[in-house]
């Protein structure tokens, strides 16, 4: 329960999402160095598609070069690797695709149980980020409209009552707009479990707004691929949330 305890703590956390198809050795070295400076608190590893299954190589590199938790963020059961520290067991509770509510979980359960990973049951909620994303397309689900905070709240509450331990509000990789402050705030006030927010976050100001609205963890992926200096700029403002 070490990772879950950290997610539930009072400190705000910055997580970097690494897509195994898009990360090279130079980027990994830079990210490891940033982690060792205390600028990154968690790594999430996974993607919607894997043309090059480098999950094992990336996890092993990060484990060798830094000391922060490395968590699998699986797009499918093939992305599970027991060399990581934990796994977000995602249930797409905003959609009605049974395969992503329980189907793939049944397929993966035996190997997850044997892996020894810390498993974090996570209610995954897609919020419309202003454009179609890989997540919505691959999951064959419709995101919750960005102006329907009541639906997002009710969905998060249902996940909590079902026993899920974390809520992940996701606008999708490369989304035009991140999850709104209103949705983050209302969901955070409604549930008693940690809130992770990701998708479409590409500036220090957006990170600050997410934390101020109640996010426990903010996830950045695509923006870091485009701007390697973004992490250091966010690190400076993280002091305000210590």
Q: Is residue 1 part of a domain?
A: no
How many independent structural domains does the chain possess? Answer: 1
Q: Please give the structure tokens belonging to residue 228.
A: 């390697």
Q: Is residue 129 part of a domain?
A: yes
Distance CA 13, CA 143 (A): 25
Distance CA 8, CA 130 (A): 30
Confidence (pTM): 0.96
How confident is the prediction along the chain (242 residues), in pLDDT tens digits per residue?
A: 799 999 999 999 999 999 988 888 899 999 999 999 999 999 999 987 666 678 999 999 999 999 999 999 998 777 899 999 999 999 999 999 999 999 999 999 999 999 999 999 999 999 999 988 888 888 899 999 999 999 999 999 999 999 999 999 999 988 999 999 999 999 999 999 999 999 999 999 999 999 999 999 999 987 787 787 899 999 988 878 76
179 near 126, Cβ under 8 Å?
Answer: no
pLDDT at 242: 65
In 3-state terms the chain splits into helix, strand, coil percentages (rounded to 5) of 45, 20, 40
Domain with 181, as residue range(s), is: 8-241
Q: Is residue 121 part of a domain?
A: yes
- CA separation, residue 143 to residues 25, 77, 106, 120 (Å): 34, 23, 24, 23
44: β partners: 17, 71
Q: Please give the structure tokens belonging to residue 54.
A: 């480098």
Q: Is residue 3 part of a domain?
A: no
Q: Is residue 164 part of a domain?
A: yes
Instruction: Give me the phi and psi of 189, to 5 degrees please.
Output: -75, -20
Nearest residue to 162 via CA among 125, 121, 127: 121
Angle at 152 between CA 151 and CA 153, to 5 degrees: 90
184 near 208, Cβ under 8 Å?
Answer: no
Which CATH number belongs to the domain containing residue 135 in this structure?
3.20.20.390
Give the number of residues written for the chain.
Answer: 242
Q: Is residue 2 part of a domain?
A: no
């Amino acid at each position: 329960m070490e990772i879950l305890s950290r997610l539930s703590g009072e400190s705000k956390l910055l997580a970097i999402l690494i897509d195994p198809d898009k990360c090279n050795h130079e980027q990994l070295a830079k990210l490891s160095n940033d982690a060792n400076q205390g600028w990154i608190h968690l790594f999430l590893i996974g993607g919607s598609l894997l043309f090059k299954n480098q999950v094992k190589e990336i996890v092993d590199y990060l484990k060798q070069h830094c000391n922060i938790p490395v968590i699998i963020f699986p797009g499918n059961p093939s992305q599970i690797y027991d060399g990581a520290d934990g796994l977000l067991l995602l249930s797409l509770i905003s959609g009605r695709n049974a395969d992503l509510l329980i189907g793939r979980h049944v397929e993966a359960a035996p190997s997850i149980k044997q892996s020894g990973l810390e498993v974090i049951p996570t209610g995954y909620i897609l919020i419309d980020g202003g454009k179609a994303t890989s997540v919505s397309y691959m999951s064959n689900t419709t995101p919750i409209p960005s102006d329907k905070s009541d639906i997002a709240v009710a969905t998060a509450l249902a996940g909590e009552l079902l026993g899920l331990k974390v809520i992940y509000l996701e606008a999708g990789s490369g989304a035009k707009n991140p999850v709104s402050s209103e949705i983050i705030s209302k969901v955070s006030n409604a549930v008693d479990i940690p809130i992770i927010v990701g998708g479409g976050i590409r500036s220090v100001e957006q990170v600050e707004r997410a934390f101020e609205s109640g996010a426990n963890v903010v996830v950045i992926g695509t923006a870091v691929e485009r701007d390697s200096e973004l992490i250091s700029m966010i690190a400076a403002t993280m002091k305000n949330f210590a």
